[in-house]
């Protein structure tokens, strides 16, 4: 679960890191196809690590339950949302020299 939690948070970070000040709504969620492919690869690799028996033995993982997976769903949104709030604050705060 810790590994999957890190993966979920990294997805939120990847979307948040696309811009310093603009909101994700302005940039667009689907405007960077390479990022989307990277996220898809990351999810596929994480799934392989926890569900494929050979990789389970190497990494010491077990498949999570549906309830555990549901706990991961808000992670990317929370990480992205906190950064979105930070960017909104930066847009409204004058730069001090």
- Within a domain: residue 97? no
Domain that holds residue 27: 2-92
Burial (CB < 10 A; 0-12, 13-18, 19+), residue 8, is buried
CA-only gyration radius of the chain, Å: 16
pTM for the model: 0.81
Residue 54 lies in a domain: yes
Task: Write the CA distances from 18 to 32, 61, 63, integer angstroms.
Answer: 9, 31, 31
Does 78 map to a domain?
Answer: yes
Helices 74-92 and 2-16, packing angle to 10 deg: 30
Number of domains in the chain: 1
- Would you tell me how many other CB atoms lie within 10 Å of the CB of residue 74? 12
Could you read off the pLDDT of 46-79 as tens digits, one per residue? 999 999 999 999 999 999 999 999 999 999 999 9
pLDDT of residue 57: 94
Condensed to tens digits (0 to 9), the pLDDT of residues 13-55 reads 998 888 877 777 788 888 899 999 999 999 999 999 999 999 9
Q: Which of 8, 22, 2 is nearest to 74 (CA)?
A: 8
């Amino acid at each position: 679960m810790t590994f999957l939690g890190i993966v979920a948070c990294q997805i939120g970070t990847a979307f948040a890191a696309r811009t310093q000040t603009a909101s994700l709504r302005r940039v667009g969620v689907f405007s960077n196809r390479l990022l989307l492919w990277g996220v898809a690869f990351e999810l596929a690799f994480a799934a392989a690590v926890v569900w494929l028996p050979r990789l389970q033995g190497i990494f010491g993982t077990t498949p999570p339950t549906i309830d555990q997976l549901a706990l991961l769903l808000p992670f990317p949104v929370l990480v992205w949302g906190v950064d979105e709030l930070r960017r909104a604050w930066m847009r409204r705060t004058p730069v001090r020299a």
